[in-house]
Structures are given as structure tokens and as C-alpha cells.
């Protein structure tokens, strides 16, 4: 499997996709450079480095939202032709005629994608923090470092979901274009339409919102449906990690009834506690990735490989 | 010592109601070259896929180099080289890099692999193109690289799925010559599926003919000729000069059943190879031999006979 892993990794970093990865780092640099410094210093949570990822002042969209929305494209780009590309090229039969297990081919490719994503995500993170240090003049605190590392891991896991989705599509569909389109359709459905659907269904189930309880139950219905999408799980988890103050109440109450937060002692929770809060999200994302892997295996292991 | 490298008994592969391979019995002995013939869709490729565990048999038994390809695929693939029908390489890697990847997959250590790769590239006459990316290779070059790729692991058996497909005549001759050499010098057994009847006839020890998933005929070329009593030997000469006596001489050669002249062309039919005698007869008669082509049409006739029935 190692041979496949290294070959695929070399492919990702080599000719084909390096531009895309470089692009990701550039996004980090641009965001780090354009984020409004004074807004962070005067109006933020006091956690400067976390605010760089969540603020919308000075940039069209927070870096965190940018990753949530556009990150999937990178995962998809790394995986959409993983298996059917080899099939079209005529290399799949040749590789599988060598003494390697079929799952090694799949695993090698998946792990190579994962390594590539990790390198890209963490380089981007380092770029953002580096530029932040240059502009803000203070180093990130230990607490911030823990949160950012956790955030990085969740981003990798989130992108791994899209990688796995694209690889599954590349197994089920014979044509690389079809699997790319199918993955992109999955991306649009999961990151946009599930949200619409959740709102719509929640409005049907809880039609009147007069009292705070009703508002909360509508919100709950909406959230639970939306959680079918990894984007929602990702946004919640990173929201908690990147906002030590509001994150403690999962952001939900603050969203629906900000006045309820009045009188609450506004103090940040520790990174460890935030990590505890996102633990279920991490498990859910892992479960989503595993489901895709299992489905892909089940299909790929017994499939006929015609040249 | 002769050991069975491939044995199949009652092998069946069904896709829904359609039986692509239907109760096939097959044996390949060590050192043998086996020609696997049949029209498109007769189940040749499917049989080959089952030999490599690339698809699972529906019923029946198959063992390759003593192992079950479905349950112990690695034991099979370690010793069996497979050249797929349309072999592909990573277009952005050079010929050498492609082979190096195969070597890595076979866990051949790097230094050995390097030497072996250079040796094989030399054998398939790709030394000059070895650092070119395979995207620029011609069909024939890819096929030759495919052969090097198959031999890299030092296999006991090589399975070639229609290796001559899409090659030019010179390429076919070269490829078949190489296969012949491999079997005689390195003792590699070959299982070869093809449509090129003449060539199969030339290099195969035994042939099997598939039709509708069944092996309808099997044996050496001589045996098959007897079984079907078809054909014989055909020779076409192009001659300048020569008179009636030449035709008489030619007709008198052993086994010749008919001899006809139309213009410069003389067509000879017979039951055995009279190339040497016929050509020397032409020269002795004072005529000039412009061209000669021999056709041992036995297999083709057998083949046609079987497939016209459908």
C-alpha cells in the first residue's frame, strides 16, 4: 500500500494539483492580510487569532465560512477521478494484476488525499497566523493554539468527507466527468439545499413563533435536520472552537434570543472545554466519512475489473 | 516435470440470465503456449478475468499456479503476469517511471528493479524512449512497454489478452517472435487470446476455440485438422516465364491436390508444406520467382467452420 500511497501523494503535489493547493495557501495569505485589524483589536472577542478566522470586516466572507463553503471543492478535486480515472486510462486492471490487495489501492489513494489536504490546510493556517503575528504584533496564546489546531483537524476531517464522497462517486460512475458533476451536485445539495429544507420543514412543524419556547423548538427542529449535512456539523463545531464566549452555549440561544444572554456572565471557556463540546461533532463527521468508505469498499471489492 | 499452471473445471460466469462462460474446462501445462481463440463475446476475456480474480466465477473451480484467484489473489498475482486487452500507463510518467511503480507494487528492491527495467526496456526496444512520458507513446510502444511490465515480476505464466490487437504487421511479427523466445529460453508459459489465427498457429503448442462460453475444440493444430478434416496447405506464387511443364512439375509435388495458373499467379493447394520444393521447382524450370506466399489455412478454416454455424 505504501507504494500506492507515495505515488498518489507525488501526483497530488506534482504537476496536476499543486496549483490548487498553492491557491489555498494564497487565500490564507490574502485573508490574513485584508482582515480589518482594528475591528479585531477593539471589537472582537479578545482572542485575536480566532477572530481572524471568524470576522467579516475587511473581507467579503469570514475565512471560516469560506472554508465551509469552498473547502469541499478541494476534497472533490482530489478524489473525483481516483478510481474511474485509472479505469479510463487502462491502468486499473494492470495495477490490480500486481500482488496488491484491492483495498490497498483504495486506502493508498484515500490516505494520500488526506495527507495532501492536511498539508494544505495546515500551511494555510500557518500562513494566516504568520501574517497575523506580523500585523498584530502579539503571538497567539496557548489557548488559541490549541483551538486553532483543533480547528485545523476538524477542517481536515470535513474535507476528508468530500474526498470520500468524490472517491465513492468515482467508484460508482464510470466517467470522471459524471463523477465530478455528481460530487458537485452532492456538495450543492448538502451545503445549500439541506439548509433550505431544514428551514422549510421547521416552519411546517412549528408554524407559530410567539414564545421563546416555540422559537427554540423551531430552532431545534431546523438544526437537527440540517445536521444531516456535514457542512452544518462543521460550522457548529468550528463555531464552538473559534468563539470561546458564545460557543459555550452552542451559539443557538444567542442566535434566537440574544436577550437571554443578558445577565449571563460573559467569560470565555477553556480550550479543553470547547474541545469537549465539539467531540460529538467530530464523532459524527468521522461516522459520515466511515459510511462513505464502507459503501465504497463494498462496491469496489467485488467489482469486475474489465480492461 | 510438468505441472498444471492453470486448471479450470466446470467454470461458469453468469451475468443475470446470460452465461458468458458456461462450463469451461481448461488446462495449461508448464512451458506450454496456449492459444485461446473465439469471436468477440465468446467469453475469452471473462475467462481471463476469472483467472486473475478480477471477477468472481459464478460456479465451478479454477486454480492458477495452484491457488484460488478469488480467495488467494496475491499468491496468484505474484507469479502471473497479465497484459490486459487495452493496456494503459500513467500518461504523465515516463516509461521507466511506470515500470518502477510496478516494481514497487511487486516489492522488488530498487537496485534490482533498476537493472531489470533497463534490461527489459532494452529487450522490448524502448531504451531510447524510456524517459519519454508514456502519453507520447504509440499504440505499439505501449504494447511493448506492457510486455516489459508483465515480465518485470519474473512470472511463471503470462496471460496476454489479445496482445496483437491494433498492432501493425511488423509489430505482430516482432511480438510473436519475442513470445516464442521467452517460452523457449526462459520457460515461461503463455496463455494467449487472439484473433490472429495464423500467428496463433505459428507459436502455439495447443489451441482452444471458444464459442458461446464453451470450449468447442481443443488440441494441437494437427489434432484439430484431423478432427475437422478441413483445409490443408495453400501456396500462391507469382512467376514470370515458365511453361506448361512447370505446372506439371508442381502438380507432381507430394501432397499437391490442385495447381492452377492465372496470368503470373500460380495457386497450389495441398495437404502439406511444399514451399521449398515449389520455389526450387520454379527456379529450375528457368522461370523467375517474383513472390511467394504460403497460407496454412487449417485453423482459419476450422475457425470459420465453427463460426459460420452460428
d(CA A229, CA A226): 6
* Chain B residues touching A7 at Cβ < 8 A: 101, 104
* pLDDT above 70 as % of chain B: 91
The answer to whether A7 contacts B101, with C-beta atoms less than 8 Å apart, is yes
pLDDT in tens, B17-69: 899 999 999 999 988 999 998 888 888 999 999 999 999 999 999 999 999 99
Distances (CA, A) of B38 to A93, B118, B138, B207: 22, 36, 27, 10
pLDDT-derived band at A284, boundaries 50, 70, 90 = very high
Flag if B49 and A302 touch (Cβ within 8 Å): no
pLDDT-derived band at B227 (thresholds 50, 70, 90) equals low
CB contact under 8 A, B105 and A307: no
Q: Which of A6-10, A19-23, A30-34, A153-157 has the highest mean pLDDT?
A: A153-157
- Using the beta-carbon criterion (under 8 Å), do A97 and B81 form an inter-chain contact? yes
Q: Taking all residues of chain A, what is their mean pLDDT, rounded to a whole number?
A: 87
pLDDT at B281 over 80: yes
* Average of per-residue pLDDT across B241-259: 82
Q: Which of chain B's residues have a Cβ under 8 Å away from the Cβ of A91?
A: 88-90
Cα distance from A302 to chain B (closest Cα, Å)?
Answer: 7
Res B225: pLDDT: 67
- pLDDT of A247 reads 65
User: Which helix H or strand E contains B210, and what residues bound it?
Assistant: strand B206-211
pLDDT per position as a tens digit, A220-242: 888 889 999 999 999 889 988 88
Percent above pLDDT 90 for chain A? 45
Q: How far apart are CA B207 and CA B224, in angstroms?
A: 9
Residue window 31-90, chain A: list those with CB within 8 Å of chain B.
89-90
Average pLDDT over residues B250-266: 83
Q: Using an 8 Å CB-CB cutoff, list chain B residues near A100.
A: 74, 77, 105
Residue with grid cell 477521478, as numbered in its chain: A81
Average pLDDT on B194-199 reads: 73
Neighboring chain A residues of B81 at a CB cutoff of 8 Å = 97
Closest CA to A106 of A178, A11, A1: A1
Q: Cβ contacts (< 8 Å) between A94 and chain B: which residues?
A: 82, 84, 87-89, 102, 146, 149
CB nearest A89 (choices: B55, B88, B161): B88
pLDDT over 50 (residue B174): yes
Instruction: List the grid coordinates of A224.
Output: 437537527
Over residues A76-104, mean pLDDT? 91
Interface of B with A in 174-193 (CB under 8 A): none
Average pLDDT over residues A197-209: 89
Task: Work out the minimum CA distance from B280 to partner chain A, whole angstroms.
Answer: 48
Higher pLDDT: B230 or A216? It is: A216
Find the range with the poorest average confidence among A19-28, A256-265, B67-76, B299-308: A256-265
The per-residue pLDDT for range B71-111, each reduced to its tens digit, is: 999 999 999 999 998 889 999 899 999 999 999 999 999 99
Pairing mode of beta strands B59-64, B33-37 = unpaired
Range with the lowest mean pLDDT among A108-117, B28-37, B283-292? B283-292
In angstroms, the Cα distances linking B168 to A23, A306, B35 are 46, 24, 20
CB contact under 8 A, A93 and B82: yes
Mean pLDDT of chain B: 86
Output the nine-digit C-alpha cell for A85. Answer: 480515472
The pLDDT, as a whole number, for residue A253 is 54
**Given B52, B74, B105, which is nearest A3 (Cβ)?**
B105
B15 and chain A: CB distance < 8 Å anywhere?
no
Residue-level pLDDT at A282 = 95
Specify the residue for cell string 490516505: A111
Q: How confident is the model at residue B232 (pLDDT cuts 50, 70, 90)?
A: low
The answer to whether B244 and B237 are in contact (CB under 8 A) is no
What is the mean pLDDT of the segment spanning B174-201? 85
pLDDT at B1: 42
Choose the closest CB to B89 out of A3, A4, A91. Answer: A91
Q: What DSSP string describes B112-157?
A: HHHHHHHHHHHHTT-TTTTTSBGGG--HHHHHHHHHHHHHTT--SE
Is B97 near chain A, with CB under 8 Å? no
In angstroms, the separation between the Cα of residue B160 and the nearest Cα of chain A is 12
Contacts of B25 (CB under 8 A, 6+ apart): B8, B9, B10, B11, B215
Task: Over range B127-142, report the average pLDDT.
Answer: 91
- Report yes or no: A2 and A106 within 8 Å, Cβ to Cβ: no
Amino acid at each position: 500500500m505504501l507504494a500506492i500511497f507515495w505515488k498518489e501523494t507525488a501526483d497530488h503535489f506534482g504537476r496536476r494539483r499543486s496549483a490548487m493547493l498553492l491557491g489555498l495557501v494564497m487565500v490564507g495569505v490574502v485573508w490574513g492580510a485584508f482582515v480589518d485589524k482594528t475591528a479585531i483589536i477593539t471589537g472582537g472577542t479578545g482572542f485575536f487569532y480566532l477572530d481572524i478566522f471568524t470576522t467579516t470586516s475587511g473581507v467579503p466572507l469570514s475565512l471560516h465560512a469560506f472554508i465551509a463553503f469552498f473547502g469541499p471543492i478541494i476534497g472533490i478535486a482530489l478524489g473525483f477521478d481516483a478510481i474511474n480515472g485509472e479505469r479510463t486510462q487502462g491502468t486499473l486492471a494492470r495495477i490490480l494484476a500486481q500482488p496488491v490487495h484491492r483495498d490497498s489501492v483504495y486506502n493508498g489513494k484515500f490516505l494520500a488525499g488526506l495527507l495532501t489536504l492536511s498539508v494544505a490546510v495546515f500551511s494555510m493556517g500557518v500562513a494566516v497566523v504568520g501574517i497575523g503575528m506580523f500585523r498584530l504584533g502579539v503571538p497567539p496564546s496557548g489557548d488559541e493554539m490549541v483551538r486553532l489546531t483543533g480547528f485545523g483537524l476538524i477542517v481536515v476531517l470535513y474535507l476528508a468527507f468530500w474526498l470520500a464522497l468524490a472517491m465513492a462517486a468515482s467508484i460508482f460512475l464510470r466517467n470522471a466527468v459524471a463523477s465530478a458533476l455528481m460530487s458537485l451536485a452532492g456538495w450543492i445539495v448538502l451545503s445549500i439545499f439541506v439548509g433550505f429544507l431544514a428551514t422549510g420543514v421547521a416552519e411546517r412543524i412549528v408554524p407559530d413563533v410567539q414564545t421563546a419556547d416555540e422559537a427554540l423548538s423551531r430552532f431545534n427542529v431546523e438544526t437537527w435536520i440540517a445536521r444531516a449535512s456535514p457542512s452544518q456539523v462543521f460550522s457548529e463545531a468550528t463555531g464552538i472552537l473559534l468563539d470561546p464566549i458564545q460557543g459555550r452555549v452552542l451559539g443557538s440561544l444567542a442566535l434566537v434570543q440574544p436577550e437571554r444572554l443578558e445577565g449571563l456572565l460573559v467569560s470565555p471557556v477553556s480550550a479543553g472545554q470547547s474541545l469537549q463540546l465539539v467531540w460529538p461533532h467530530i464523532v459524527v463527521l468521522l461516522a459520515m466519512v466511515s459510511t462513505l468508505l464502507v459503501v465504497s469498499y463494498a462496491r469496489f471489492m467485488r467489482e469486475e475489473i474489465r480492461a | 516435470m510438468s505441472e498444471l499452471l492453470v486448471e479450470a473445471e466446470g467454470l461458469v460466469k453468469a451475468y443475470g440470465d446470460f452465461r458468458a462462460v458456461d462450463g469451461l474446462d481448461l488446462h495449461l501445462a508448464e512451458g506450454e503456449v496456449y492459444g485461446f481463440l473465439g469471436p468477440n463475446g465468446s467469453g475469452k476475456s471473462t475467462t481471463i478475468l476469472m483467472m486473475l480474480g478480477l471477477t468472481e466465477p459464478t460456479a465451478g473451480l479454477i486454480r492458477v499456479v495452484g491457488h484460488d484467484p478469488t480467495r488467494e489473489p496475491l499468491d496468484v498475482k505474484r507469479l502471473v503476469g497479465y497484459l490486459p486487452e487495452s493496456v494503459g500507463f500513467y500518461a504523465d510518467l515516463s516509461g521507466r517511471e511506470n515500470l518502477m511503480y510496478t516494481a514497487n507494487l511487486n516489492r522488488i528492491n530498487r537496485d534490482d528493479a533498476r537493472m531489470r527495467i533497463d534490461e527489459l526496456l532494452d529487450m522490448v526496444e524502448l531504451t531510447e524512449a524510456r524517459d519519454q512520458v508514456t502519453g507520447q507513446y504509440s499504440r505499439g510502444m505501449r504494447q511493448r512497454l506492457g510486455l516489459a511490465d508483465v515480465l518485470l515480476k519474473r512470472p511463471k505464466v503470462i496471460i496476454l489478452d489479445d496482445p496483437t490487437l491494433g498492432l501493425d504487421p511488423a509489430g505482430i511479427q516482432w511480438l510473436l517472435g519475442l513470445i516464442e523466445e521467452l517460452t523457449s529460453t526462459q520457460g515461461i508459459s503463455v496463455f494467449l487470446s487472439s484473433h490472429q489465427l495464423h500467428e496463433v498457429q505459428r507459436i502455439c503448442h495447443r489451441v482452444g476455440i471458444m464459442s458461446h462460453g464453451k470450449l468447442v475444440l481443443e488440441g494441437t493444430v494437427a489434432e484439430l485438422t484431423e478432427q475437422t478434416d478441413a483445409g490443408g496447405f495453400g501456396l500462391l506464387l507469382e512467376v514470370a516465364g515458365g511453361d506448361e511443364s512447370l505446372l506439371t512439375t508442381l502438380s507432381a509435388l507430394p501432397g499437391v491436390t490442385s495447381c492452377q495458373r492465372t496470368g503470373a499467379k500460380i495457386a497450389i493447394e495441398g495437404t502439406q508444406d511444399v514451399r521449398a520444393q515449389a520455389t526450387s521447382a520454379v527456379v529450375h524450370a528457368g522461370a523467375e520467382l517474383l513472390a511467394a506466399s504460403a497460407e496454412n489455412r487449417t485453423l482459419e478454416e476450422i475457425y470459420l467452420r465453427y463460426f459460420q454455424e452460428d
